Amino acid sequence: MRYVPAIVIGRTVRTLARLRKPGGGSAVPGLVVNKVAPGYLATTLNSFRDGLVIVSGSSGKSTTTKMLVAVLRAHGRSVFTNPSTANISQGLTSALLERADLQGRIHDDIAVLEMDEGHGALIAAELSPRVVALTNVMVDQIDRFHDSEMVATMLTAIAARATDAVVVNADDGYLVQLASSVPAGVRVDRFGVSSAVLDAAPHGLGHARLAPERLSDPSGIVVGAVSGRTASMLIDGDEHTVGLPARGVHYATDAAAALSTARAVLGSAFDVDLAVAAVGSIPPVFGRGEVVEVRGQQVEFVLVQNPASYQLNIDTLEPGAPVLFAIGSDVRDPSYFWPVDTSRVSRVDIVSGSKAWELALQLSYDDVEIDRVETDLGRAVDDFLALPQPATGVKTIVFSADSMRRTRAHLGLTSEGEPS
């Protein structure tokens, strides 16, 4: 009962925020509740009957979380989860307010939360997750996570709170080191890719530090091959074909992370065939290889948030498909993306966004042919959609978070808000 006043206040703030800005203000109620009742978030997250699962890391946590939730629900579990855009403390609290009763309780079996590395580390001491899944450590947001050692330290703090298991990417050197410091009594489960998959990746896996060896633990889940939106995986000694929401080895790795985490959560109840079918059934997560029907045609949206995701996504673009690149004001220093090799693209129809000319310069240095630079993003999107339909593939828009929001708003598409 002690949280009733805070919940009433939070819901009132939420209503007022939505009246003021429909579709916006989603983090404000959580910010208010965290101030009024600072213990509410941790108390609620620790109260689920089957426990709490945290998914964190530099990249891939949104897709991994969505896959994991699908697998658990396929096994009959009722799951509370947060939108990918609500992965910091105030966003998490706002997500809880959407489902909690007046006493702050949520009546699902288990909570599966995507959690920002920094905010997760700040509240980790108050949480008791059964399982923590860590995707990777990459060179990430230049204004927050520029230091990989710092990110590894944050993830170590989150992993230290696990009571049952920590699931780690065995190809990530930082996470391999982290796994060696997991508290006694907590199991470490691993997932990774085969040497063949790594050798086939033109620019590697994107990790800040690649582990020296590939996963050899027979209990681990290994991605053996990737072809388009399909991957072959070795699970419990048997080979399985797993459908992916989008192209690329990074999505196959996300699927392996989700399957490994689901097995850690479900134990003997884990049904591999049921799990594989659930993973293959999910659509792409917001902006991550998402194919949207716009003005009577199919358009693929590809969100890039750091050099690693930019590179991995460029490496999987369909050859010959029309491409619009748009980098916005969220990329404060365009040189952040200069380590990315864009030469595979060969040709871009339109370059746009507030950093259009800087991006065009990078593309030019990589000998990419550019048809046009148009700084007005709305006009660029309209003209791109007016281009003839490609003979193969679909039109593709590659954008940073700021340009993604502006593009979706221009097209009148619903938005989850800011990506993590």
CATH number of the domain that residue 27 is part of: 3.40.1190.10
Model confidence pLDDT, tens digit, residues 192-225: 999 999 999 999 999 999 999 999 888 899 999 9
Same domain, 296 and 192: no
Partners of 397 in beta bridges:
301, 324
CA dist., res. 110 & res. 251, Å (int): 24
Same domain, 178 and 38: yes
Residue 417 domain-assigned? no
Same domain, 390 and 371: yes
- Quote the radius of gyration of the chain (alpha carbons, Å): 21
Which 3 state secondary structure label does DSSP give 411? helix
Q: In the prediction, which pLDDT does 306 show?
A: 84
Instruction: With a cut of 70, say whether residue 303 has pLDDT above it.
Output: yes
Higher pLDDT, 331 or 210: 210
Same domain, 144 and 200: yes
Q: Give the pTM.
A: 0.85
Q: In the prediction, which pLDDT does 65 show?
A: 95
Residue 66 domain-assigned? yes
Partners of 208 in beta bridges:
none
Mean pLDDT, rounded, of the chain: 87
Same domain, 269 and 304: no
Residue 197 domain-assigned? yes
Same domain, 253 and 327: no
CA dist., res. 54 & res. 174, Å (int): 18
Distances (CA, A) of 397 to 141, 144, 311, 356, 385: 21, 26, 15, 14, 10
Query: Residue 181 sits in which domain range?
Result: 4-281
Instruction: With a cut of 70, say whether residue 86 has pLDDT above it.
Output: no
CA dist., res. 327 & res. 336, Å (int): 12
Give the residue from 281, 314, 342 where a domain finishes: 281
CA dist., res. 327 & res. 361, Å (int): 13
Give the residue from 248, 281, 314 where a domain finishes: 281
Give the residue from 281, 298, 319 where a domain finishes: 281
Residue 27 domain-assigned? yes
Instruction: With a cut of 60, say whether residue 417 has pLDDT above it.
Output: no
Same domain, 176 and 319: no
How crowded is the C-beta side of 21, counted as CA atoms within 13 Å?
A: 8
Same domain, 247 and 376: no
Which 3 state secondary structure label does DSSP give 97? helix
> CB atoms < 10 A from the CB of 260, how many?
27
State which amino acid sits at residue 364.
S
Same domain, 265 and 345: no
In the chain, the number of structural domains is 2
Q: What is the CATH number of the domain that holds 405?
A: 3.90.190.20
CA dist., res. 213 & res. 172, Å (int): 10
Model confidence pLDDT, tens digit, residues 366-376: 999 999 999 99
Same domain, 329 and 271: no
Higher pLDDT, 265 or 98: 265
Same domain, 177 and 51: yes
Model confidence pLDDT, tens digit, residues 392-406: 889 999 999 899 999
What stretches of 12-135 adopt beta strand conformation (E)? 52-56, 79-81, 110-114, 131-134
Model confidence pLDDT, tens digit, residues 149-196: 889 999 999 999 999 999 999 999 999 999 999 989 999 999 999 999
What stretches of 271-349 adopt beta strand conformation (E)? 288-294, 297-303, 323-326, 347-348
Same domain, 397 and 366: yes
